[in-house]
Structure 1
């Protein structure tokens, strides 16, 4: 039996990836960097802020303090852009509440930092808070490494094989596989074909599709 669900945040809980893309473009312009933003998104989505900055600047040896200073600037731009148009991924809260009512443990494993987590929760106004949120500023390696998901499972007291991860990005889908967890692809920001794998139970456009298909019941995650 599955005992816990672990959700990525950006692009999975909240429809934030277009604003992240815009903020990367604006940040790069401010820094005088000429980059392919689509390529930056491909290489960084799911990685921690520090990892992203080292990739963006092409400086793998960039110090943590310098990288974090850049992260704070970039993420402030993101929050300014997304705040007026904030939206959840369709059906997320309804699905989350249903899973909670069914007795599942619910956690979040995100590359986002504490400021972005607080921003998301403030706007989401969730009825029930996740049991734990593991973030990208806690010293763990970002996705596709499995550390963030494994730490979320550990904090909830659940074995990895009893968890299902919900992810919108290929690096996150791979992180779930490396963690020994099954996954659901949320195709809000990537083509469904990029979110497949032997451990992937379903790929859907949003949570309304999971609710309509009775995903939790069909896959015997909860009793019918």
Structure 2
């Protein structure tokens, strides 16, 4: 039985990965790195900024700390979100309305910070669709671990097997599956060539997600 839909944010609610990459590129260029490609960023899609900078420090031998770059990167990204004029991913608003009109509950579970999530939901005026949000700051282990999705289910007081997660990243799909939830893989080309093969179904647009599909997933009518 379908009780809740859990939304990832980056790449599902907003097309954020190009903005992430731009802010990272500006920072890493200061250290003399000239070959930081979108593919380097794509490996960390769905994970914490801390994990990204830890990996890049090791790869490029950057003379700094993950903590320092995380603070700088998050600040630069938040400023970019405030300044740029953009809206939600195409098809998101009709999807939210379809789900809400059928009385299905929704929550956001994102590796982004609480400040970041709130800023995006407020910017798009979609806060009222969701019963709350959980972030990487609320759990000890982030995606691909299942903790953030399990916390989302606990926040709504619903069983994991009655939840469907919408994810655009390999690490997020793995987290959803490990949480015992059904997962829709949303193919967002701006999120890089993500391996979504473990998702129960893959879609290329939010228009392909309707109540029938969501309900069929939770009664296991679609087999992985």
**Secondary structure of the corresponding residue to residue 164 of structure 1:** strand
RMSD value, Cα: 2.4
Q: TM-score, normalised by structure 2?
A: 0.83
CA contact (8 A) 1:86 1:123 kept: no
What are the ranges of 5 or more consecutive residues in structure 2 without an aligned counterpart?
60-64, 219-224
CA contact (8 A) 2:2 2:164 kept: yes
| CA distance in structure 2 between the partners assigned to 1:45 and 1:219 by the alignment | 24
| CA distance in structure 1 between the partners assigned to 2:66 and 2:192 by the alignment | 30
Which region of structure 1 is more displaced relative to structure 2, 171-180 or 66-75? Answer: 66-75
Instruction: After TM superposition, give the deviation of residue 185 of structure 1 in Å.
Output: 1.2
* Corresponding residue for residue 76 of structure 1: 75
Q: TM-score, normalised by structure 1?
A: 0.83
> Does residue 220 of structure 2 align to residue 220 of structure 1?
no
| CA distance in structure 1 between the partners assigned to 2:203 and 2:173 by the alignment | 13
* Corresponding residue for residue 168 of structure 2: 168
Instruction: After TM superposition, give the deviation of residue 99 of structure 1 in Å.
Output: 0.8
| CA distance in structure 2 between the partners assigned to 1:206 and 1:147 by the alignment | 27
**Secondary structure of the corresponding residue to residue 6 of structure 2:** strand
**Secondary structure of the corresponding residue to residue 107 of structure 1:** strand
**Secondary structure of the corresponding residue to residue 195 of structure 1:** coil
Instruction: After TM superposition, give the deviation of residue 94 of structure 1 in Å.
Output: 1.9
In structure 2, the CA distance between the partners of 1:192 and 1:58, relative to structure 1 (3 Å rule), is closer
* Corresponding residue for residue 195 of structure 1: 196
| CA distance in structure 2 between the partners assigned to 1:152 and 1:30 by the alignment | 38
In structure 2, the CA distance between the partners of 1:94 and 1:23, relative to structure 1 (3 Å rule), is same
Instruction: After TM superposition, give the deviation of residue 32 of structure 1 in Å.
Output: 3.9
1:123-202 equivalence runs, <5 A: 123-126=123-126, 128-188=128-188, 189-190=190-191, 194-197=195-198, 199-200=199-200, 202=201
Instruction: After TM superposition, give the deviation of residue 8 of structure 1 in Å.
Output: 0.4
* Corresponding residue for residue 95 of structure 1: 95
In structure 2, the CA distance between the partners of 1:5 and 1:151, relative to structure 1 (3 Å rule), is same
* Corresponding residue for residue 15 of structure 1: 15
Which region of structure 1 is more displaced relative to structure 2, 163-172 or 49-58? Answer: 49-58
Instruction: After TM superposition, give the deviation of residue 67 of structure 1 in Å.
Output: 3.5
Instruction: After TM superposition, give the deviation of residue 85 of structure 1 in Å.
Output: 3.5
CA contact (8 A) 1:186 1:206 kept: yes
- Displaced runs of 4 or more, over 6 A: none
Which region of structure 1 is more displaced relative to structure 2, 165-174 or 19-28? Answer: 19-28
Instruction: After TM superposition, give the deviation of residue 56 of structure 1 in Å.
Output: 1.9
In structure 2, the CA distance between the partners of 1:37 and 1:148, relative to structure 1 (3 Å rule), is farther
* Aligned residues between the structures: 210
CA contact (8 A) 2:100 2:129 kept: no
**Secondary structure of the corresponding residue to residue 137 of structure 1:** helix
